[in-house]
Amino acid sequence: MHEKSLSKYVAFFRGINVGGKSKVKMADLNQLFHDCGFRDVTTYIQSGNVIFKSDEDKSLLPDVISHAFEKRFAFPSHVILRSGEEISAIMSALPFSKEDIEQAEAKTPEVEHVYVFMANDCIDPAAAETLCSAYDGEDKLSVGKRELYLLCYHSIRDSKLATSLSKLDVSLTSRNQKTMLKICELLGADS
C-alpha cells in the first residue's frame, strides 16, 4: 500500500492575541494541531503562526483548521494557509529595493517596515490599484496574486495605506518581514 507523503505548511491565524482580545495560548494551539492529526507541529510567537506537516488535501486544510479552532476556543479566527514552498516564493518576491528599506529604517529605526499581507483568495489588482491611487503618502504597496507587500516609512499603526487595505473584499492577515524570515528559518530547520 502506498503511503501519502507529508507536506509542510504554515497556518497564519488572523486576529488572535491582539490588544488583549481573543487570547489563545500557543501551547493550546499546538495541542489543537496535534489533536487534528498534524505532525511536527511548531508555533512561533503569540500572533498565531503554526508550522506543521500533513498528508491531507491542501484545499481542505483551512476549513478543517478553522472549524477545529472555533470548536476548541469558542470564537472564530480566519486561517490563511501557505505551503513551505509558497513561503519561500513570497520572500523571494519581496518587491522593495534594499535602498527603499534602508530609507524607511533610517526614518524610524525602532519599528518594522516591511509587511506581507496574505489571503486565501486572489486579490483584485484593480481594487488594490484604486486604493493606491487614492493614497498620497510615501508608503509603498505591491500586489501579488494572493499577497500584498507593504513598505511603511513609519509605524504600520500610522499607515493610512495599511488601514485602507480593509476596504478590499478579501480577508487578509499580515506578518512583518522579521517574522516571515524566522518562519522560513524554522521551515528549513524542519527539513
pLDDT of the residue at 2: 47
Contact 62, 79 (CB under 8 A): yes
Nearest Cα to Cα of residue 22 among 178, 182, 177, 173: 173
Class for the domain spanning 7-89: alpha beta
Looking at the chain, which residues constitute the CATH 3.30.70.1280 domain(s)?
A: 7-89
pLDDT of the residue at 20: 72
Q: How far is CA 88 from CA 48, 176, 181, in A?
A: 19, 15, 9
Low-confidence stretches of the chain (pLDDT beneath 70): 1-3, 189-191
Task: Please state whether 48 falls in left (phi above 0), alpha (psi between -120 and 50) or beta.
Answer: left
* Model confidence pLDDT, tens digit, residues 153-169: 999 999 999 999 999 98
What single letter denotes the amino acid at residue 94? L
pLDDT of the residue at 189: 67
pLDDT of the residue at 1: 45
In the DSSP assignment, the letter for residue 93 is T
Task: For domain 93-189, give the CATH number.
Answer: 3.30.70
pTM over 0.75: yes
